[in-house]
Amino acid sequence: MNKRIPVITQIQVAGFLPKRPRDSHKGQFGTVAVIGGANGMIGAPLLAARAALKLGAGCVHVGLLAENAPGVDLLQPELMLHSASAALQLPGVKVLAVGCGMGHDLTAQKILYHTLKLDAALVVDADALTLLARHADLQADLRARKAPTIITPHPGEAARLLGRSTNEIQAARPGAAQELAKHLHCSVVLKGADSLCVTRTGKMFINKTGNPGMSSPGMGDVLTGMIAAFIAQGMPADDALLLAVHLHGAAGDALAEQGIAVGMTATEVTEWARWLLNQWASKS
């Protein structure tokens, strides 16, 4: 079945990112808010936020749930850090990324509930997907959204959302991805080897970039931040999804070509993704 699914190509996606005028300013490239980071998991939203910043978002805020949350990211001080509740009230946010390291407790559930009610594009990942699987009312809120929504499950998260086993998802990946998109009225990337992307209109694409070296912590957080960055810069959500998924894997492949097959980090993927995107943009 995979042979009949169109493959995402660099030629297809390289021209998606809008050209930047000479007299541009940061306000033209959108504001992203990344919401997550419960106690012990602050790194996850910071990875997503750093990726959003380095892939071109104009402003990036991070809303953290942790009680001991830092006030600044010392490695990336360009980011603006807040409490999660404060981040949800920021004006002018074009896209939110929610779920990275968020946890599953009642506070996280309430944050997700309020996030789903906002009139902004939304990327839903990680713990937010687990909460969706556990709470039918949150799924109903997601289905009712008018603004674009993208969910980014790995096979285990997809299994929980569909009430199946991971083995069942892996045995019928295209059908599972399409069912998720239809059931939740959103765009989907079902991650894994040969990630599958389903657009809001039901079109499916398969991605062939990426390699086993990317099986390491934080890779999904980086992908979430990349998708958010591209939406913030004015791309339609489905175009942002296809570009981010393909570029994310291509960055991992570039690292593998340098001989880094074991110990590849999500931070390195962000750096290579930025470099590749600039190369592609200069040629398109």
Q: What is the pLDDT of residue 3?
A: 60
Q: What is the pLDDT of residue 283?
A: 83
Homologous superfamily of domain range 2-13+26-283: Ribokinase (3.40.1190.20)
Q: What is the pLDDT of residue 133?
A: 98
Angle at 184 between CA 84 and CA 32, to 5 degrees: 30
Q: What is the pLDDT of residue 282?
A: 85
- The residue ranges of every structural domain in the chain are 2-13+26-283
Low-confidence ranges of the chain (pLDDT < 70): 1-3, 284
The reported pTM is 0.98
CA gap 231, 227 in Å, rounded: 6
Strand partners, 197: 189, 205
Residues listed for the chain: 284
Q: What is the pLDDT of residues 2-34, one digit of tens each?
A: 469 999 999 999 989 888 999 999 999 999 999
Q: What is the pLDDT of residue 1?
A: 44
Secondary structure string (H, E, C) spanning 213-278: HHCCCCHHHHHHHHHHHHHHCCCCHHHHHHHHHHHHHHHHHHHHHCCCCCCCCHHHHHHHHHHHHH
Q: At what angle do helices 219-232 and 266-283 cross, to 10 degrees?
A: 30
Which H/E stretch holds residue 144?
helix 136-144
Which H/E stretch holds residue 180?
helix 173-184
Q: What is the pLDDT of residue 2?
A: 46
Q: What is the pLDDT of residue 18?
A: 87
**Residue 257: how many CB atoms within 10 A of its CB?**
10
Q: Which of 134, 113, 130, 133 is nearest to 122 (CA)?
A: 113
CA gap 189, 112 in Å, rounded: 20
> What is the distance in angstroms between the CA of the first residue and the CA of the last residue of the chain?
32
